[in-house]
Structure 1
Amino acid sequence: MASSRHKHAVPKRAGLSRPSGSATPGGARAARRKAPATASPWRGRAVKVALPALGVLTLVGTSAAVISQDAEIAPASASIAEVAPSDDIIAQALEDQDATIEVNRSAERPELPAESEESVDVTGTRVALKDGVAVRADAKRDAPVLATLDKGDKIDVTGETAEGWTEVVHKDLSRWVKSASVAKKLPEPPEPALGTEPCPTGSESGLQPNTVKVLRAVCAKFPEVSEYGGVAGRGEHATGHALDIMVRGAAGDSIAAFLQENQDELGIEYLIWEQQIWRPATSASWRPMSNRGGDTANHMDHVHVTTVGSGASGY
């Protein structure tokens, strides 16, 4: 028997059909999760435009950085110092490093003096009077010793002095020495002491002490003299107060001058030479004597010496 219930077909509405497998709302949600995302058409076009533009901007930025670096290289720490707080240890260290780099080392060294400032004028020379004369850097006793001079060494001077110091020139620079240690020239060597050794060519027999001194002194000073007259028969010769030195001409002049120079030391009372007499007790000059008739009597061939204590008279 046919059933009284009939299935009525439901007509489909246009645009409301569901895809297969999504008959239920849960199935529709699952379908949406599984379906791949489809990019919007405008998004694809934006990507195509943005990528080339990004490349151009990158290239421009790189070029600008290179140009900026060539124009001026700023210390990396400068920007850090601007934004970092003052108590930032790293920033402070960088600032200290920058300060060290910026120090001008040449400013720490004094400028070298010009050559004209170092030159000194030389006005003469001096000679060292002894060995070990110190050449000092300044006119002070404790100034460094730069060199020493030996006796006879010469050194240039400027003519300047300062409280017992003389300015000298050593290696083209101004230096100082004690004024008392230098002079224009070395002093003349002192005259040797009067001879005191016995004379090999004259007899001392019977002579007074002062007369012996005259004989030895003349013999040592004038060894060319070969003859002396000592003790004789009369006057001061008899008592040993007189000595005759047998010479002529210039040799006699030199001996007479030598005896005058040493009159006090030798105890000389007077001299007779070439008919003249020199008696310092009465006159400082030579005085003429009368003619006695011959060379020996007029003392033309010898210098006569009478020492102190003589009792002779009439000369």
Structure 2
Amino acid sequence: MSASAFAIGGVLSVTERAGADAQLVADPSAAISTSRGGYRKPNIVLPSAPAASEVTVTGATFVFHDDAADLYAMPDDTTEVVVVVAPDSKVGTTGETSNGFTQVVFADKVGWVKTDSLVTGRALSMSSCATGSGVETGLQPDTVRVYRAVCALFPQITGYGGRGGGGEHAAGRALDIMTKNLELGTAIANLVGQHWRELGVSQIIWQQHIWTAERSGDGWRPMESRGSDTANHKDHVHVTTFGNAGTL
């Protein structure tokens, strides 16, 4: 059974849902102004994308950092390109997918991007991190898997907590992924949870909620307050691993 998606209060407030450009999206002026798409057939009336107000945004993800993503009117790369979304941009997600496309909201526009243009739609990488392997010192193989998967897809994360202290950290079976950004941390927590078998993940804690492989059917469960933001895991995603059970 895969991990259920993490969500807090539906992720978005009513106000955020009402204004897609204010809810999860980057400044549209940062987007590339021309399409990367190929040939468009002339003299064809292309279907139009629905208004952002016609869909419900339930989560968020990010465009992969290596390239921009065309936002198509329909889940078909021969339809109108509504806008081009810049690399690393945040987009709202509706939970709808079709034929290798994912429906998203960006800059008050709704459309479809190719799923593999999103960080949550990419294959996991086990290549060494561009920022170096110092964090890997003393970590168990599964924990290294988590570190490499996250650093490849989320280069905006610059802080990690590896081996040290007590408990799972002392044994090299835990990794702290440092971020206070709710959408970014949630995207990371969901990615790790969705691939828990491949990565050898036994537990994830984020925003005072916990997910465990042992009780994966229960999804994300709330935790009692431990006091500070750090103790409640509001400034980092905590991942515990089995040690060497992953398949990647």
TM-score (norm 2): 0.49
Question: Which protein has the larger Cα radius of gyration, Structure 1 or Structure 2?
Answer: 1
Q: Which has the higher contact order (CA 8 A, sep 6+)?
A: 2
**More strand by percentage:** 2
